[in-house]
Structure 1
Amino acid sequence: MSSPLLVGKNIVKNFIDAQRSVDILHGVNINVHAGETLAILGASGSGKSTLLHILGTLDSPCSGDVLFKGESLLSLSKKQQASFRNTQLGFVYQFHHLLPEFNATENVAMPKLIAGVAKKEAYAGAHELLERVGLSHRLNHKPHQMSGGERQRVAIARAMINKPSIIMADEPTGNLDNDASDDILKLINDINKADNTCFIIVTHDHGLANKMDRTLTLVNGNFMNEGDVGK
């Protein structure tokens, strides 16, 4: 098998709570390969969102490292990490995190505009992606004018706009009904197959996890199925 695209090495994370140390992650190791869909399961408070944030350079571990194509991400400056996130990663959250004052086109185009792409080009890319996710009729609608499933589709289109290697999703169906959840799952699988985009999905939904290529389960700060980590 080819070398992993993303590697987490011996990741340790703890917090200070009421003057005591609360251990969250205990030397977690994880290998993620290009083009795979990976679910990280775990109960509430198991550290799965914390791990996702560390892998995405949104948070720092107390010790350990995160490598992308063999290069340490934690050795980069904050500015370099921000540039890496904008070009190589896409993020999708349970509550979409769309900017309420902007319409669907503007929300999807935002990462390109931040990267300095001309407005006309950024908007053209946004329109193409919104059509792809089935929202060509919602180009000028603001988040409050769309359903929960539609807002999540906009969030996925925004995550795709810079053609990232990896999309990291934190409970992407957690706030949706069954039909909308099924639609989002189908969309994720379609994107994965068409673009070879890797998905790392944090969830407590075993049904969703079972439809991914691989599942790892966090229990007591480490993966229960440790043998799968190095695949």
Structure 2
Amino acid sequence: MGVDQTAFSAAAQQAIGEKLAKAVDAAGLRVMLETAAHATEQALDEGRNREQAALIACHAGCSACCNLNVAALLPEAISIAAWLRERENHPDFTPLAAKVEKFARYLRWVDDEERIRLRLPCAFLDHRGWCLIHPLRPLMCRSIAATDPEQCRKSLDITWLDDEEPVMLNLEQKFLYDEAFMHVATALDRHGLDSRSMELHTAVQAFMECPERVDEFFNGARIRL
């Protein structure tokens, strides 16, 4: 049993393109991204048996890998920024927005290896280690599915490069989400939109501090940070 990757790729590409063609605002972009994530999850659910599903060690509240740099497509950043602005009257909004701004400044020039050494958890984790933006989390976050949580934690708890250990991942899940990410980027290109990805906090902060950048994005401008 396994996923028919050719069929998945064709179906996902078509669905993403159709939703993007109808998107005129942040809500439309979120629908497009939800379509990409749903198509991937559906393919995974249909293609793996119970034993394979049991190998996924990731679960709610596990934030072992949430100290990595995450590449976010601009529609993902726009959707998250819009979600945050919808909650600007909530008492938790101000500290979270300030934390995102701080992380954006600090992590802008931090490479992947240094980010791991810093052991700096994502700004979107709450005090329990739960993801505050879980329904909107980027495709690259969704792609990581460790099969051994202890090994995952150990591999990320490094001091020197020579101490690195490999992480056992569900490669099919990573492949399919990588494909979904690529199909979204390709669809953006076809519609003349900025298809680059950026570090998550940096990208979200860009649209938080300048909401007018959303209009620039839909007008086909290259977003400047």
TM-score under structure 1 length normalisation: 0.28
> More strand per residue: 1 or 2?
1
> More helix per residue: 1 or 2?
2
TM-score under structure 2 length normalisation: 0.28
